[in-house]
Amino acid sequence: MKNTDIFSITHKASRRSFLQSAGTMALGASFLPWLAESSQAENLLQDNKPLGIALVGLGYYSAHQLAPALQQTKFCKLTGIVTGTPSKATEWEKKYTIPKKNIYDYKTIDRIADNKDIDIVYIVLPNSMHAEYTIRALQAGKHVICEKPMAVSVKECQQMIDAAKKANRQLSIGYRLHYTPHHQEVMKYGREKTFGKVKIVETSDGFKIGDPNQWRLKKALAGGGAMMDIGIYALQGSRYTVGEEPVSVWAQEFKTDSVKFKEVDETILWQLKFPGGAVANSSCSYAAGLERLFATCEDGWFEMGPCYGYGAIKGRTSKGDMNLPQLNHQAAQMDDFAQCILTNKPTRTPGEEGLKDMRVIEAIYRSIETGKVVPLS
């Protein structure tokens, strides 16, 4: 997660009126199924209140992205919090008018099972805590959104998926970019071969990380460094641009500060090969600013940049600019998940999607250790 400025259109007007304007015209027929689902969910809301969301962990992302976004959502709202810091509980209670009965700590979180005000639990904790608290929330009978990366191992990812199935609840991973018009358009380019078959993809994401004592630089909490935090955006971008799952990976790691990055990776470069012949060259770094997705195809090209941060996304193609609407990523993501629950449809970013990324990430680390190409099939 990166500390970039929020750029969003207002959601005070109804989503329906927004989508009936320039956004719908720009996206065309590819966005019409979403309109139908939105309309269905709106009809259900006429007799039901918006779904309640409890945020677990009140760090930067919850405070500066998710909570503000939940003031713009239509199908869900902030109704509860889980925190181990009493002062934060008091602050959030006053700021968002949260009833005391909807405030929990990490010891009492299981009692959330008896709270009808909370339908969805959003896990926003350090990576190594994702599996435990996702499973506990599912066992409490709640639907769950787990922030990326899904977990710190393939084994944990599978345990989370199994827990969701056993509880008969939906598990969604916080891949907010899947809910933005620009990234959806790129997925369509690859799927429909708009510019011909994708040949080479270049994806990169990075920023200069600050505080050397933060949890992201501690392996026990983060599971890894730049790769786990922001490299996952570049990895996701290459996968959904090509529209296939990679068959092999080769990777290298580089460090310029062996003290600050003693426990985790600073910079990683990797190459993915896909079954259809496409190749992706990617990088991530905690030492430099990077933010790009580029694909060259048989009959043209397309690119985005900036494309992974919380702000405006810009895209271009060999045929011209991608003139698509901007929106609040987190609000779109959470509203979409709420609609899935209301209409009994699967989320577009389920636990299985997070598991796919973790399989590749584990292979990337194995390639770094061995110096060899690691097969993924």
Tokens of 44: 């259900």
| Of 104, 179, 189, 233, catalytic | 233
Residues 6+ apart with CB under 8 A from 340: 170, 172, 346, 347
Tokens representing 2 are 């990166």
Q: Is 133 a catalytic residue?
A: no
78-83-86-91 Cα dihedral, nearest 10 degrees:
-30
Two structure tokens written together for 332: 């779109």
Sheet holding 120-123, edge to edge: 103-104, 76-82, 51-56, 120-123, 143-146, 171-173
In this structure, the strands spanning 76-82 and 51-56 are parallel
HEC assignment per residue over 304-372: ECCCCCCCCCCEEECCEECCCCCCCHHHHHHHHHHHHHHHCCCCCCEHHHHHHHHHHHHHHHHHHHHCC
Q: How far apart are CA 133 and CA 61, in angstroms?
A: 17
Which one, of 84, 77, 83, lies nearest residue 53 by Cα? 77
CA distances from 166 to 54, 162, 169, 222, 348 (A): 21, 6, 8, 27, 20
CA angle 160, 215, 58 (to 5 degrees): 70
Dmax (CA) for the chain in angstroms is 59
The pair of three-digit structure tokens given for residue 305, joined into one six-digit string: 């940049």
Residue in 142, 148, 260, 356 annotated catalytic: 148
Is 148 noted as a catalytic residue in this protein?
yes
Helix (H) or strand (E) holding 78: strand 76-82
Give the separation between CA 191 and CA 26, rounded to whole angstroms.
19
Catalytic residues: 148, 233
